[in-house]
A and B are shown apart, each in its own frame.
Chain A
Amino acid sequence: MKVNEYEKKEYRNIWTISEILGGEVLPVSFELLGIARELAAKRACEVWTVVLGSGLGGAAESLISYGADRVILVEDPRLGAFNDELECHILERLTAKYRPEIMLGAATNRGRALIPRLAGKIGAGLTADCTALAIDPETGELLQTRPAFGGNIMATIRSVEYRPQMATVRPKVMRAPVPDLNRTGEIIREETVPEDAAGIKEILRVVERKESSVNLSEAKIIVAGGRAMGGPAGFQLLEDFAKRIGGAVGASRAAVDNGWIGYPHQVGQTGATVQADVYIACGISGQIQHLIGMQSCKTIIAIDVDDTTPMMKLADIAVKGDLFEIIPSVINELDERVRA
């Protein structure tokens, strides 16, 4: 909502919107609390978090130990799966009631659908996919830095005349605090939306993929393959490699379009944008459209027979050789080190 200087003072505290899946708090929720605490320390205000879900168990206590001063809990069996309209209704009401100065969500599939809907409804400024946040201790003004143009420009954005100031934050960029089990906080239970409320969609089914290797946004390590993988068998090798080092499997568009691996694995302009700690590119030449999706990874390792490709030049570590020989040797080497 657009506010004047007087109205601004009615907006207080920093909120995070926690992400829960099957009663389990997702790591990005703790990362949000980490950055919220840093900002709150400068602004001398409280950190609140909102949990929408079903069967929330010890979620609230866990969020308090990670830095929440107050947890707003809304339980409803319909919140077991992500429901845009229902969650937006609830958040609209909570925002009007408590007036947070800042609201942070996760830049996950859920957050990137829910938070813009909420911003549209309440008329607030929203910055997507932030990688850095700073606050003016006096005015509470939030400086929101985000990559644009596929990570080629860092833009810093503010929303001076509107409250709350809203941002989604990329997973794996902010640091989660060390949990303190002695920390205390207040749990506030709030009502959900009536069963017969209009305009709420029906969730028919939730399907989880069996392979754990698909969750690119939460993986610390991504092993990705391109055209040189040659077929589905090549990706099986990457699957084994990823499993060995606890990573997820990514792919170039060429590999996906050839049907060697599913679209959820695609990294790049028309796939996922990832920010893993380590990205191991296997036989990926590094077309611009692919680099856009992964150039913000902390360490890039490339394996290729051709050391003149853009990916091999971009890499922090470039391994020149046949990946079908190198990867099994790496797995072997890891096994030997474990034995030793």
Chain B
Amino acid sequence: MKIVVCVKQVPATTDAKIDPETKRIIREGTKAVLNPFDLYALEEAIRIRELVGGEVIALSMGPESAKNVLTEALSMGADRAFLLCGREFAGSDTWATSYALAKAIEIVGGVDLILCGKQAIDGDTAQVGPGIAAKLNIMQAANVMQVDEIENGTLTVRRMNERGYDVVRLQTPALITVVKDINVPRIPTLRRAREARRIEIPIWTYKDIGADPDKIGLAASPTRVVRTEPPAIRNTDTLTISGAPAEAAKLLVGEMLARGLL
């Protein structure tokens, strides 16, 4: 099975603190990491390869520094990795990004399965996975929590929803996006991590993937960010209740009723 995993480099949130004024999270520094959901997609791809054989290819679009997350993918066990990079791609929204990744997947050729994380933790849109499936005109399942069965030409998965889950059968080639529940990602071995650092990651420009320059980048993106602002400031007064449990409970229930919360 030929599997492509789409991964994204995102800003880390681990160093962030809360702003005492706005009570919102402030992000310090710009340390970049592999999008957490993509770890589960990579792990699942590697497990499928271990089960049925084949190849795992990691694919990303981003600045040259995004090679780091592809090296991480290789150290987990991906066989090859490619980076879509170039100023022509800059400013792409989810539509233009889906187009570029779909073109790259066509260039890889003969791909049976595409895995993505549920969403990236910076944009939180969850749009690129279904966007790629749309461009390639293949079946999709989002929020997959378990792969039940892989047979010749089909893939049976459980996808999570608000009230439970559905079991669906997809014809391959297909695209799935995965949630954290699907597996526990492996820790790369030192040996594999060393090997991974020596694997060359080719950079593909828009020409290499045969992309129409009128369909990538900011100019080709249907959506445009017109402004950004901090979210509304939360009520900054904290009402503290303490004391004996029965007393505290009485105060809390009284306060909740007074504020119309119950």
Contact = CB atoms under 8 A, between A and B. Distances in A.
A151 to B, nearest CB: 6
B154 to A, nearest CB: 9
B177 to A, nearest CB: 8
Interface string A293-320: 0011001010000010010111111111
Given A116-B134, A154-B231, A263-B180, A321 B248 contact: yes
Interface in B225-257: 225-231, 234-235, 237-243, 245-246, 248-250, 252-253, 255-256
Contacts of A321: 242-243, 245, 248
Contacts of B92: none
Given A126-B95, A202-B168, A209-B164, A317 B241 contact: yes
Given A321-B248, A326-B248, A117 B143 contact: no
Given A150-B25, A201-B139, A329-B245, A108 B162 contact: yes
A158 B180 contact: no
Given A125-B95, A153-B229, A199 B139 contact: yes
A127 B223 contact: yes
B167 A207 contact: yes
A153 B14 CA distance: 17
Sort A-B residue pairs by CB-CB distance and give the 4 closest, nearest first.
A120-B134, A125-B222, A329-B249, A263-B181
Contacts of B245: 321-322, 325-326, 328-329
A117 B248 contact: no
A209 B161 CA distance: 10
B27 A317 contact: no
A241 to B, nearest CB: 11
B250 A333 contact: yes
Given A116-B126, A273-B124, A320-B241, A330 B94 contact: no
Contacts of A151: 24-25, 231
A84 B224 contact: no
Interface of B: 11, 13-14, 16-18, 23-27, 36-37, 93-95, 98, 121-135, 137-143, 145, 156, 159-171, 179-181, 221-231, 234-235, 237-243, 245-246, 248-250, 252-253, 255-256, 259, 261-262
Interface stretch (A53-61, A212-220, A232-240): A212-220
B226 A158 contact: yes
Given A152-B24, A157-B225, A158-B224, A317 B95 contact: no
Contacts of A66: none
Nearest to B122: A149
A152 B250 CA distance: 35
B167 to A, nearest CB: 4
Given A113-B143, A270-B180, A330-B252, A314 B18 contact: yes
Interface string A145-174: 001111111111111111000000000000
A248 to B, nearest CB: 10
27 contacts: A84-B142, A109-B142, A110-B161, A113-B126, A120-B130, A120-B133, A125-B93, A128-B125, A128-B127, A148-B123, A157-B223, A199-B171, A202-B168, A204-B156, A221-B261, A245-B262, A263-B179, A264-B181, A288-B16, A292-B121, A295-B234, A301-B252, A316-B234, A317-B241, A317-B252, A319-B241, A320-B240
A318 B25 CA distance: 19
A87 to B, nearest CB: 12
A201 B230 CA distance: 42
Which among A108, A278, A312 has the highest number of chain B CB atoms within 10 Å? A278
Contacts of A337: 253
A159 B161 CA distance: 29
A291 interface: yes
Nearest to B128: A116
Nearest to A299: B261
Nearest to B169: A202
Given A113-B130, A318-B240, A333-B249, A270 B166 contact: no
Contact of A126 (B127, B170, B227): B127
A123 B226 contact: no
A114 to B, nearest CB: 8
Contact of B130 (A117, A147, A160): A117
Nearest to B20: A313
Contacts of B224: 157-160
A329 B248 contact: yes
A152 B233 CA distance: 11
